[in-house]
Amino acid sequence: MRALSLYRHLLRLYPAAHRDRFGEEMVSVFGEMRAEAARMGIGAQLGFYVRETAGLMMGALEEHRRAWGGGAIWLLFRTLFFSTLLFPTRRVTMHSEFRFPKTTAVLMTIILAGVVLAIKKGETISSSHVNPPIGPLPPTHSVLLGGIFLTLAFFYAAGLIGWAILFAMRRSGVHRLAETTSK
Amino acid sequence: MALYDMSPEIIMDSLPLTEPVLLILLSLAAQPRHGYSILKDVEQMSDGRVLLSTGTLYGALRRLLDEDWIERIEEQDSSRGRQAYRLTTRGRRNLQVEIRRMKQLTRLANLRIAGKQA
């Protein structure tokens, strides 16, 4: 039930139009797949969650790209936060040449896991926090702005680190090994 | 019939299809199916090699719906959020074009391989 609820929350990553159109179906199918994976053991469950997380995040990105028309805003977003290694500039169609590198899926899964853990940790801290005695109110605006800035800085740093890893891998020519074996 | 003999509207720029999309279309070629049934059929057809996530499946279904290759049909058990999909005439014709293209490619590959072995 908790996984279903979390999946339902994560669907908010999709544009509203896609969510309205397919949201309930996706939750229903996710529930059926999860029940089946649970019957097959822990390994199958782990593979299922990794696959679903990666699929959901990539699907959400693709739907946003499509919603933005793949134009200047998307280009700016991509340039700011990701490298061209992760998102090739070619138009995304059903052509076979469009493939996300496997490293992208791993990286996105790690980032998502970090976000979920941070949310859980935040909830734990807030629930254990005792109400402070009444006194002068803290400067909420500066705290809020500082928090937003820190969050953005964290994600930007995570993106840069990911980009640096992928760039180093690409420079080393590791990706060519995969190309050789798949052809 | 060669590919260039087909009507221009049939030759979509979505061809050639990726393996997952081809398997989804083949799954719907036999009968209408809902999402979970498509996932299981794709897994079975590919001997467990192609495992689609829910996000990937619905991304592909959205594109196929937008390009009018498939359509939604009402299912009796709609209380569980299920919707069934089936191929449209256009989708079936495009699938046949793709299969014909693959047959030509296979025939060519066989000829080339046989020629090299001889």
Q: What is the CA radius of gyration of chain B?
A: 16
Q: Which pLDDT score is estimated for B9?
A: 45
Which residues form the domain of A96? 83-126+147-183
Q: Which residues of B fall within a CB distance of 8 Å from A28?
A: 35-36, 80-82
Q: Which pLDDT score is estimated for A85?
A: 43
CA distances to A27, A56, B50, B83, B105 from A23, in Å: 6, 12, 23, 11, 39
Phi, psi of B86, deg, nearest 5: -145, 160
Write down which residue in A67, A95, A111 finishes a domain. Answer: A67
Best CA proximity match to B32, nearest among B107, B84, B98: B84
Q: What is the per-residue pLDDT across B30-48, written as a single tens digit (0 to 9) for each?
A: 999 999 999 999 999 999 9
Q: Which pLDDT score is estimated for A129?
A: 66
**Mean pLDDT on A131-143:** 57
Whether residue B112 is contained in a domain is answered as yes
Whether residue A6 is contained in a domain is answered as yes
Query: Is B54 in contact with A24 (Cβ distance < 8 A)?
Result: no
- Residues B55 and B53: their CA atoms lie apart, in Å, by 5
Q: What is the per-residue pLDDT across A83-93, written as a single tens digit (0 to 9) for each?
A: 444 444 444 44
Whether residue B74 is contained in a domain is answered as yes
The verdict on A59 and A18 lying in the same domain is yes
Locate all alpha helices (DSSP H) within chain A, ordered by sequence.
Answer: 2-10, 16-39, 42-67, 72-81, 102-128, 140-172, 174-182
The verdict on A177 and A87 lying in the same domain is yes
DSSP letters spanning chain B = --GGGS-TTTS-TTPSPPHHHHHHHHHHHHS-EEHHHHHHHHHHHTTTS----HHHHHHHHHHHHHTTSEEEE--S-GGGT--EEEE-HHHHHHHHHHHHHHHHHHHHHHHHHHHHH-
The verdict on A27 and A93 lying in the same domain is no
The verdict on A15 and A49 lying in the same domain is yes
Q: Which residues of B fall within a CB distance of 8 Å from A96?
A: 16-19
ipTM for this model:
0.80
Q: Which residues of B have a CB under 8 Å from any CB of A?
A: 13-19, 21, 34-36, 39, 51-63, 80-83
Instruction: Find the residue in A nearest to B21 (Cα).
Output: A94
- Residues B48 and A6: their CA atoms lie apart, in Å, by 27
Cα B36 versus chain centre, distance: 16
Task: Specify whether the CB–CB gap between B20 and B43 falls below 8 A.
Answer: no
Q: At what angle do helices B54-66 and B19-30 cross, to 10 degrees?
A: 70
Residue A109: is its pLDDT beyond 90? no
Least Cα separation, residue A93 to chain B (angstroms)? 6
Query: Is A32 in contact with B36 (Cβ distance < 8 A)?
Result: yes
Residue A140 binned pLDDT confidence (cut-offs 50, 70, 90): low
Place of tokens 């221009």: B8
Q: Which pLDDT score is estimated for B47?
A: 93
Q: Which pLDDT score is estimated for B68?
A: 94
Residue A153: is its pLDDT beyond 90? no
Whether residue B30 is contained in a domain is answered as yes
Place of tokens 């469950």: A45
**Mean pLDDT on A112-132:** 73
